[in-house]
Structure 1
């Protein structure tokens, strides 16, 4: 089962995207709908809301008067927190029930307006954010919903900022154009990413990898790595670090996120394999060994490797034992390159030359070994001179 979080600001058109995903076959769990259900007449949720805010939040028929409740809590952080404490646990429990009832090969899309605000992104394999220009959202709210313009702008301002949503978004759907444009984007996302991602997670496989191709440094790589690391951290409760070339600002690299998960032993790494697979990071079978320095015990450089199942984001996850030589060097190497522009430029030159002639990732990795053999000593000398030690 693939778990997808869907969110977006008020008026952005999230419901349009949710409806299309449902048409394509997704199991859509609508948090807004559930939030209405848990405070229907006769429910414990409504009784608790009335106890907290008084009879004035009821209609003459005994149903919840939503505008009256909104007026009561909007702009009052304490009142809103009290309401959330009543509603959110009930919505969460019902969403869990509905998600659990989905088929094993299902794609469950949880439509959650406050996904970003409540820090829920790491709980999903993928987060989709629907967005539109503010003025367009205001127009939609005032025309389609009959909302006063001042109220519409206040609601938009009270929600997460575009920057906060971008930090959480694996997929950003711009709904500023025509409905046909966003629906076409959803169709493509479904076929090219969601369907194969679900199959990969269910079957415990990772996406095929092509030949190495260097691209210019992408300033969004650290943000992308932070999202992936948060998922892995939530799944395992372990420390996760962004390592490798994509963690070095300005360095050209393959568009691959390398992350290191710190374990106490290889036995613990093996015990985490199932959890990581369910989170979307299946294990690469067999023992994997980093290249040891001369005279070191090769056994000290053993690790376990997992790869991401998401066809839209290549991730290599290295599980190494805390304090081991391989663990330390994985942290030291990018720190050295970040501090030494000459070494960084030299490494990029080596990478470009090898990427141009190597036909596979394995060949490319092996071809870098001679340079890395010398880099060990150079990085170590820098660490000693800079009094560097592993972070955390």
Structure 2
């Protein structure tokens, strides 16, 4: 909610009403997270005597106040839920104040804190790209209805509230982590503990120390149909970090080719106008968003061989649960064009896709590490470059 420019790891936590999101937040707080409750902040910014409440009264009259001068949420709800323009007017008053207060609370956290922002409508209002990681608590609707009934909510009201929120499919699309809460509290706590230990704590260290995760061994995974969806989340996060610049971001590499087995690493290409631009403020903003630059000099091997190296900048991911290679290449440069051409040719040519898959399997079985694996693929790519250029000429392909 505060943007990916602060010094701490920001985790967005959400889930439908009755999912158990509050139980997850409480467990994370016990483990050491700084939990910011968006509902509590929303009440704070419209408390009696606040500027927020004064502006609401000015917009909707004092009929939204109760006898004690506090906000009558039921009265206000009756107005805004039936009037889209009124709802947007209310959001224009409250949302900036909630964001500002949330930023204050996050800024007050220790430099090594893990800040968890508990936001019921995180998905509905499009906040997912503003966090380093989004955690969704998911529970079967029947279980949620039973829990809400135990709280004293009648079934019709519970169903209405569930229907008014995003459905499970939409939440999963926004989630980096899904915690299923259909068993019991011990199972949920175990899942939260594992998330904290195995992902959040090392992610925070990596983010603070500007350290990227780099898989050393080559392990091929069968094609994952969610790779494009994972790419979309990463691209949205990168785009948010670099806003207001209108940048071109592309999914490249094997995970961008449907049906192709690959290392479980998402390759992304970010177009820049020059390597000097890549070395400027972009590098720091990417690092703050969880994509630190990998040290050293990086280049792509030329195709055809002997035509000179193609320089680039390479960033990785601080998230131990999602390895990424983020290639910053100059737009329209040979390396930039080659990455897009290889992807599109393999998408279009099933025979070459099958040949490449066979090569990958053979090399993965014999190559001890990622560097050797990449080098051994070079002769095949030298030939594939020529085939792809022929295909591009025949089809009038453009990147």
- TM-score (ref. length: structure 1): 0.96
Q: Name the residue aligned to 1:248.
A: 257
Contact 2:11 2:131 in 1 (8 A): yes
2:301 is paired with a residue of what secondary structure?
A: coil
Q: Out of 161, 170, 176, which is 1:164 matched to?
A: 170
> Which of 288, 298, 304 is residue 288 of structure 1 equivalent to?
298
| SS of residue in 2 equivalent to 1:4 | strand
Partners of 1:175 and 1:75 lie apart in 2 by 33
Structure 2 residue corresponding to 1:378, chosen from 387, 392, 395: 387
Displacement of 1:295: 6.1
2:81 counterpart (69, 74, 84): 74
Distance 2:188 2:78 in 1: 33
The residue number in structure 2 matching 1:45 is: 52
C-alpha separation between the residues in 1 aligned to 2:213 and 2:300? 22
**Pick from 94, 104, 109: which aligns with 2:111?**
104
What is the CA–CA distance in structure 1 between the aligned matches of 2:99 and 2:209, rounded to whole Å?
28
Deviation, 1:153, is 1.1
Per-residue deviation, 1:139: 2.0
Alpha carbons 1:49, 1:83 under 8 Å: kept: yes
Instruction: Please state how far the C-alpha of 1:71 moved relative to its aligned partner.
Output: 2.9
Q: Is the 8 A contact 1:383 1:389 kept in 2?
A: yes
Quote the Cα distance in structure 2 between the aligned partners of 1:332 and 1:10.
Answer: 46
Contact 2:15 2:136 in 1 (8 A): yes
Aligned 8 A contact 2:19 2:181 in 1: yes
Provide the secondary structure at the position in 2 that maps to 1:246.
helix
Distance 2:99 2:234 in 1: 23
Moved more, 274-283 or 221-230: 274-283
* Aligned with 1:347 (options 356, 364, 378): 356
For structure 2, the residue ranges without an aligned partner over 5 or more in a row are 1-7
**Contact 2:305 / 2:382 at 8 angstroms: preserved in 1?**
no
Q: How does 1:71-220 map to 2 (within 5 A)?
A: 71-144=78-151, 146-220=152-226
Q: Deviations along 1:13-70, whole A, 9 cap, x unmatched? A: 1111111111111111111001111111111212222233333322212212222322
Determine if the alignment matches structure 1 residue 268 to structure 2 residue 277: yes
Secondary structure (helix, strand or coil) at the match of 1:359 reads coil
Q: 1:208 to 1:379 in 2, by over 3 A?
A: closer
Unaligned runs of 5+ in 1: none
CA RMSD of aligned residues (A): 1.4
Residue 304 of structure 1 aligns to a residue in which SS? strand
CA 1:208–1:297 in structure 2 vs 1: closer, same or farther (change >3 Å)?
closer
Aligned position for 1:9: 16
* Secondary structure class of the residue paired with 1:105: coil
23, 30, 37: which one pairs with 2:30?
23
Distance 1:263 1:208, change over 3 A: closer
Q: Match of 2:303, SS?
A: coil
Q: Which residue of structure 2 aligns with residue 388 of structure 1?
A: 397
Cα offsets for 1:140-186 (capped at 9, x unmatched): 22321x22221211111111121211111000011122111111111
Contact 2:304–2:385 (8 Å) recurs in 1: no
After alignment, is 52-61 or 185-194 more displaced?
52-61
Q: Which moved more, 1:245-254 or 1:55-64?
A: 55-64
Of 285, 298, 301 in structure 1, the residue corresponding to residue 308 of structure 2 is: 298
Q: Mean alpha-carbon deviation: is it higher for 348-357 or for 205-214?
A: 205-214
Of 336, 346, 353, the residue aligned with 2:345 is 336
Report if the CA contact (8 A) 1:9-1:113 is conserved: yes
Shift of 1:273: 1.8
